[in-house]
Amino acid sequence: MTLLKRHNQDARNGRSAGGGNVEPLSPLGQPMRLEDLPPPGTKRWVARRKAEVVSAVRGGLLSLQDACRRYSLSEDEYRTWERLIDDHGLKGLHTTRTQVYRNIAQRKARRPDLVARN
């Protein structure tokens, strides 16, 4: 899943095309602004909202500390969202799947031979 978009800069802004700037993309692939993020104090965390927060932090729209403060998250909770996205994509953020993925990770930790096969 690509959560960042690189834009080549062109002659209109007087910069070379080599540098480019990076902006976060929503899970739907659209450029994101602060206004597009879930509102502060969000209580119901669907997978899309979690992915938007991860994308915003990774893209520099919010710092990790700002995101944790804005949404009353622990750093561990945020890092779990990141890991689930990296390991399983957007589906990994669905709460019904979290236990399944957690069980798989625990089994792999207990049985190193499973890691070699995957």
Indicate the range of 10-14, 22-26, 64-68, 74-78 predicted with least confidence. 10-14
Query: Total structural domains in the chain?
Result: 1
d(CA 6, CA 20): 6
Our separate counts of H helices and E strands in the chain read: 5, 2
**How far apart (Å, rounded) are the C-alpha atoms in residues 62 and 52?**
11
How far is residue 26's CA from residue 33's CA, in Å, rounded to a whole number? 9
Tokens of 16: 């070379």
In terms of phi and psi (left: phi > 0; alpha: psi -120 to 50; beta: otherwise), the region of 40 is beta
Per residue in 12-21, pLDDT (tens digit) is 333 433 444 5
**Whole-number pLDDT of residue 97:** 54
How confident is the model over 64-79, as a mean pLDDT?
95
pLDDT score recorded for residue 105: 65
Stretch 99-113: mean pLDDT, rounded? 65
Amino acid residing at 38: P
Residue 106 has pLDDT above 50, yes or no: yes
Q: Per-residue pLDDT tens for 27-48? A: 888 899 999 999 998 989 999 9
pLDDT for 25: 84
Range of the domain at 19: 4-117
CATH label of the domain that carries residue 45? 1.10.10.10
Q: pTM for the full model?
A: 0.65
Cα gap 44→32, rounded to integer Å: 20
